[in-house]
Chains A and B, each alone.
Chain A
Amino acid sequence: MVGNDPFVGDVVTQLLDYPAKLRVDDTRYHGQAPVTTADLDALLRRVAQHDSSAFAEFYDATRSRVYGMVCRVLRDRGYSEETTQDVYLQVWRTAESYDPASGSALAWLLTLAHRRAVDRVRSEQAASQRDSRYGAATVERESDNVTDAVISGEDRRRVAACLNGLTDIQRECIELAYYQGMTYVQVSERLSANLATVKSRMRDGLRGLRNCLGVR
């Protein structure tokens, strides 16, 4: 039943909380400026040449996005660290397969990371047959680590506002699919909704976010 599951919507709700916790750890970043899409694309092309300093820069510019997303999906810090490490190792090895014509470097990276996280959560779930580890576990957000200087507060506020603009059912569909690694068929079972409804809620939600964020 929609709304009966205490975990549904958790992640997105947490995401909406962040402005209150927003702070910048200047000591760690020494005032490093936010990195632009073009910067990341250029860095990734250098990573493809096995430029290790470009790799370190690419990691620093993106690590909190990757690790944060992976943590939302895996809900286990140990698994999330391993998966994050695997993701960047894959970046190191396969950066030359990145094609700028098919999208931004950031989207390439997050897609790769999400894929690994989802594969991992599904294999863990299959192994534990949805025992309490994944049925109930949530990872408390470490408020000290919530933010970093490479993502501007403005970007975060804009994203939160757009997430806020979704309907509850759209948010639940995206939450279950993207952050809990469910297939749309599993989402329809969880929400007792038919497949066509789930697909259109997901599509509407994404379209709303896309328009709100100005993604062409």
Chain B
Amino acid sequence: MTQSYDDRPGGDLLELAVPYALHAVSDAERDQIESRLAAATLPVADAFYDEVRAVRETMAIISAASAEEPPADLRDRLLSVAAGDNVRTLPTGRSGGRRRMALLSAAAALAVGLSAVGIGLSLRPPAQQQSTAQQVFSASDVHTVFGAIPAGGTATVVFSRERDAGVLVMNDVPPPAPGTVYQMWLVSPGGATSAGTMDAEAVSPSTTAVLENIGGSTKLAFTVEPPGGSTKPTGTLIAELPLS
């Protein structure tokens, strides 16, 4: 039998330490637990966090048992992203005070089976988006490029020349400044073609967009544009991802 916490001060809170440490509570309950901890007595909060720490150390050791080698190319991709090689950064006019999305909101939804988010222009209705995304993922020449957006967050494009399409996923990218949108451009030697815009509402905390007709474009560029977007890039270039 287990010793019950219920007869101790804060006992019902301490019973949640293991589910909390295992991320086995809903976001709402996690917030609730954290508020209660903030208001709890020091011994209760200490006991809670001590148990959380022990659970996390334990699961870290347990990870030896499920260890599996990732594909070797992940290393190259990661190191090049970390070194900042994958995204060419130009100075942006924006300074301080940028609104960073909470890291908590972290992981996001890649396209398959995901309903569409509110992005303008070239985006398709959900059903269409799903099928394009699935076609891209099942293509024999599928490629993935990944880059850090200088203002924060990441952009990943999964694309297929054969399917002439790609899927863009942006995670934790801060929204554009009020009164502006982000616009995506497929850049080829012949010029830049708009691939859609994203307003502040669309960029949170993750965004998925389908890129149609990628043709022979060599880069996906992101600029800051007035609401509704522009017919050609006019604003600050914030990032570029090579489509290769």
Bound together: yes
In Å, the complex CA distance between A210 and B50 comes to: 13
Chain A interface SS verdict (over half):
helix
Do residues B22 and A65 form an inter-chain contact, with CB atoms below 8 A?
no
B42 within 8 A of A: no
In Å, the complex CA distance between A25 and B66 comes to: 16
Cβ 8 A contact of A85, one of B21, B24, B113, B146: B146
Cβ 8 A contact of B67, one of A56, A65, A162, A181: A65
The smallest beta-carbon distance between B71 and chain A, in angstroms, is 7
Cβ 8 A contact of B107, one of A71, A123, A141: A123
The stretch from B51-59, B193-201, B217-225 touching chain A is B51-59
In Å, the complex CA distance between A11 and B65 comes to: 10
Contacts of B65 in A (CB 8 A): 15, 18, 156, 159-160, 163
- Per-residue CB contact flags for chain A residues 112-125 toward chain B (1 = under 8 Å, else 0) read 00111111100110
The stretch from B72-80, B177-185, B233-241 touching chain A is B72-80
Do residues B82 and A128 form an inter-chain contact, with CB atoms below 8 A?
no
Do residues B2 and A103 form an inter-chain contact, with CB atoms below 8 A?
no
Q: Could you tell me how many residues of chain A have their Cβ less than 8 Å away from some Cβ of chain B? A: 89
Given the interface contacts A59-B78, A115-B23, A210-B54, does A156 sit within 8 Å of B62 by beta carbon?
A: no
In Å, the complex CA distance between A142 and B71 comes to: 11
Do residues B82 and A89 form an inter-chain contact, with CB atoms below 8 A?
yes
Do residues A110 and B60 form an inter-chain contact, with CB atoms below 8 A?
yes
Q: How many residue-residue contacts, CB under 8 A, span A and B?
A: 217
Cβ 8 A contact of B110, one of A79, A104, A145: A79
Cβ 8 A contact of A183, one of B26, B68, B114, B206: B26
Given the interface contacts A86-B154, A182-B24, A216-B54, does A69 sit within 8 Å of B107 by beta carbon?
A: no
Q: Could you tell me how many residues of chain B have their Cβ less than 8 Å away from some Cβ of chain A? A: 60
Contacts of A181 in B (CB 8 A): 23
Contacts of A63 in B (CB 8 A): 69-70, 74-75
A106 within 8 A of B: yes
Contacts of A90 in B (CB 8 A): 103, 106
Contacts of B64 in A (CB 8 A): 65, 151, 155-156, 159
Interface centre among A14, A28, A64, A71 (most CB of B within 10 A): A64
A167 within 8 A of B: no
Closest to A176 in B: B24
In Å, the complex CA distance between A67 and B105 comes to: 20
A215 within 8 A of B: yes
23 contacts between A and B (CB under 8 A): A18-B65, A64-B68, A64-B69, A67-B70, A78-B110, A81-B71, A81-B74, A82-B144, A85-B81, A88-B78, A107-B60, A110-B60, A120-B108, A124-B110, A133-B113, A142-B68, A145-B68, A155-B64, A199-B18, A199-B19, A200-B2, A213-B58, A215-B58
